[in-house]
Amino acid sequence: MTRVLIRLYPAGWRARYGDEFEALLEERPLGPFDVADIVLSAIDARIRPRGVAAAGDHSRGVLMTLRLGGIAAIVGGALWLVSLAGASVIQGADGQPWQALFVLALGALLVAMIGLSGDQGREQPRLVWAAVAIPIIGAAISAVGMLGMAIVGDAPFLFGASPWEVWVLGTIALIIGSGLFALASLRGGRVSRVGAILLMIGAVAALPLLFGVAYSNGPGDAGSILAILGIFAFAGGWVWLGIGAIRTDRAAGITSREAIP
């Protein structure tokens, strides 16, 4: 039990305080309060590493976040494209499998934004918080829309809007958030610029199509072609950003391994 609790702390912390902390924990039996206190403090130590030993931990933490963000970006971008293509080309009985896939894409892209925004969040906090908060609100709206589809079908659902329209609102929020995230990425210059530019183009171009999907009078043929290209750019931008993040993570991993004598 004691060993497991100490393992919750970062390596730098354990190297400095591990022995004496273990001795302290062995002095008396641990109650639930102690265990909860240790878990919370271990989280604090991981969130706010400090001291010389913490510097290495911090960069490792950022890189781990970058890797997870990169994987989520690739998965999210791919799911986004597959779900939209599936819903357009292969009409299911009620379209719900594609909608569920779309919500998965939404979740993956939220993870990607949080993971890839590590340093950007410190340099451009307002922009990055907006880029993440708007899609989170959108995801909630989207979930309400999906629930509505399951309950009332196409009937008016919320403030006269159909569940489908409510669901599309969530998607629009994701695209706006992605556009803001692309802007923060371009300004920060820490992730792939090509990916960020593709994402920005995709976000701007895909919006007209979504408004067209939500409301009956669509954007027209030329607008539709532009919007479809935008959807590809949007998905491609996320995948590109993800691949770039994983490459950065691998390069840093090789550098740190080479640094070990």
Minimum distance, C-beta of residue 97 to another protein, in the bound complex (Å):
46
Smaller CB distance to another protein: residue 28 or 257? 28
Q: How far is the CB of 58 from another protein (least distance, A)?
A: 14
Nearer to another protein by Cβ, of 14 and 190: the residue is: 14
Which two three-digit tokens encode residue 170?
Answer: 């969530």
CB closer to another protein, 34 vs 94: 34
Nearer CB in complex with another protein: 36/194: 36
Task: Catalog residues that contact another protein under the rule CB under 8 A.
Answer: 13, 16-17, 19-25, 27-28, 33-34, 36-42, 44-45, 50-51
Angle between helices 220-259 and 193-214 (to 10 degrees): 150
CB of 11 to another protein, least distance (A): 15
| Beta carbon of residue 19, minimum distance to another protein (angstroms, whole number) | 5
3-state DSSP assignment of residue 134: helix
Residue 33 Cβ vs another protein, minimum distance, rounded to whole Å: 6
**71 residue type, one letter:** I
C-beta closer to another protein: residue 24 or 100: 24
Asked if residues 101 and 231 have their Cβ atoms less than 8 Å apart, the reply is no
Q: Three-state secondary structure along 10-67?
A: CHHHHHHHHHHHHHHHHCCCCCHHHHHHHHHHHHHHHHCCCCHHHHHHHHHHHHHHHH
DSSP code for 161: B
Sign of CA dihedral 248, 199, 140, 188: positive
